[in-house]
A and B are shown apart, each in its own frame.
Chain A
Amino acid sequence: MSAEKASGGGTVEYIQHHLTNLCVGDCDPVTHQAAGFWALHLDTLFFSYLLGAMLVFVSWNLSRKLSADVPSGFQNFVETILDFVSGQVRDTFPGHNPLIGPLALTIFVWVWMMNFMDLIPVDLLPVIASFLGVEYLKVVPTTDLSTTLAMSLTVFGLIIYYNIKVKGPLGYLKMFLFHPFGKFFVPVNIVMSIIEELAKPLSLALRLFGNLFAGELVFLLIALIGATMAVGLGALFWLPLQVVLDLGWLIFHLLVITLQAFIFMVLTIVYLGMAHTSDH
């Protein structure tokens, strides 16, 4: 359906349509983009909550039949992931904090699940939604900056909390005053430290968002091959090409989404580890 629209209305419209969230609240009536802060992206919320709920449900279901003797197939799988995550925490996190493990695991699994939405054919869910009367649908929550920033800001909050808790308010302040260049460059130090601290949540959020947004865009462009070029006999060439390209990008992207989830997790552990070491 969207493909038909694209061939009629142009590729730009197709892409823009796909990149528009289902917005309620303070939204622009023409472009359907959020006009101010007080708008909600229902599709982002829906899919991220759905995936979160799935994660909780599956975990809860598993937790009732855990066995310490001989793990079943799925328990094995979960134990492998958990072991991997706790291994990362052990390797990169100094000391002990019972929050870090669950936090890292949540980030890794939830981000991976949200990223995985990218691998579902780009038009499938929006077309189904359009049958149900939902005009705009962006299925990948991590292509919404609100999602990635929400996580990175939470992590940022934890960074500040643990910095103050471990180093004390004065110690944290001292880090800003004397950190990169010693006590003779206090103004420079303050600027540098603030930039460094702010760069943490921003880089976390933007890296994930950028990768997934770009991945989504490439999927759209590949989808456009079939939609725009495959006319008449040309379809014999362009459709197979689209299939091959799509498959290739899909396989590559499977790596990317895992890698991005992993990077988000590891950097979170590292940042919180830095917050826990008093000798910066």
Chain B
Amino acid sequence: MNITATLIGQIVAFVLLIWFVNKVLWGPVTKILTDRQNRIADGLAAAEKGKRELVHAEERAKEQLRDVKTQAAEIIAQAEKRANEMVEEAKNKAREEAERQLTAAKAEIEQEVNRAKETLRAQVAGVAVAGAQRILKKEITEKAHADLLKDLVAQI
């Protein structure tokens, strides 16, 4: 049990060893540990954020779905309305067309009737003249009795 110069050697070794341990063991491993800590913290934060985002996205998706559904309903309603309108239009058109045709037909009929009447009148005038000739036994000149004839035609 005696203290020798070994003491000096050991002090030097001790100091050097502290330096080395700091350099190759404490430093790197502590750095690794803090790195890992940070990484885990980051990972947890990211997971939390992801979860929040997921909830948010789900909400958004729901909202969009709702919007889309409303829109679809609107579109369907519009389409139905349009279809009704078209049907209605078609009906109207058909009716108008029918009316138009009816009117045309009626007009034609009337024309025909008028024409027939005209023809009839003309013939009736001839018949009347012939009848009157027979009754009077003498010819009635058209020139002399033009007024009479006109009056007759107008009466028919």
Contact = CB atoms under 8 A, between A and B. Distances in A.
Question: Interface residue tally of chain A, by bracket?
Answer: 35 or more
Interface in A129-152: 141, 144-147, 149-151
> Which label, helix, strand, loop or mixed, suits the secondary structure of the A interface?
helix
Interface in B40-74: none
B5 interface: yes
A101 B26 contact: yes
Contacts of B33: 79, 82-83
Contacts, number: 130
A82 B30 contact: yes
Given A45-B10, A78-B25, A150-B10, A66 B32 contact: yes
A200 B134 CA distance: 176
Given A68-B39, A147-B10, A154-B15, A86 B4 contact: no
A86 B30 contact: yes
A205 to B, nearest CB: 10
> Which label, helix, strand, loop or mixed, suits the secondary structure of the B interface?
helix
A48 B3 contact: no
Given A82-B33, A102-B26, A150-B7, A59 B2 contact: no
Contacts of B7: 146, 149-150, 153
Contacts of B98: none
Most chain A CB inside 10 Å of its own CB: which residue of B4, B16, B25, B27 = B4
Question: Interface residue tally of chain B, by bracket?
Answer: 20 to 34
Nearest to A70: B36
A208 interface: no
Given A39-B4, A39-B5, A68-B36, A154 B28 contact: no
A200 to B, nearest CB: 16
Contacts of B3: 37, 145-146, 149
Contact of A56 (B17, B29, B32): B17
B79 to A, nearest CB: 59
B155 interface: no
Nearest to B33: A79
Interface in B62-92: none
B21 A79 contact: no
Contact of B9 (A37, A45, A60, A66): A45
Contacts of B27: 102
Contacts of B29: 62-63, 66, 75, 78-79, 82
Most chain B CB inside 10 Å of its own CB: which residue of A23, A26, A56 = A56
18 contacts: A23-B4, A25-B5, A34-B4, A38-B4, A39-B5, A40-B6, A44-B10, A55-B20, A59-B21, A60-B24, A63-B28, A79-B29, A106-B14, A141-B10, A146-B7, A149-B3, A150-B6, A154-B15
Nearest to A36: B4
Given A86-B30, A102-B25, A146-B4, 20 more contacts: A38-B5, A41-B4, A41-B6, A45-B9, A56-B17, A59-B24, A67-B32, A82-B33, A83-B33, A99-B22, A102-B26, A103-B18, A105-B26, A145-B2, A147-B6, A149-B3, A150-B8, A150-B11, A151-B10, A151-B14
A20 to B, nearest CB: 11
B118 interface: no
A37 B17 contact: no
B5 A52 contact: no
A268 to B, nearest CB: 11
Contacts of A105: 21, 25-26
B17 A110 contact: yes
Most chain B CB inside 10 Å of its own CB: which residue of A26, A52, A75 = A52
A72 B58 CA distance: 40
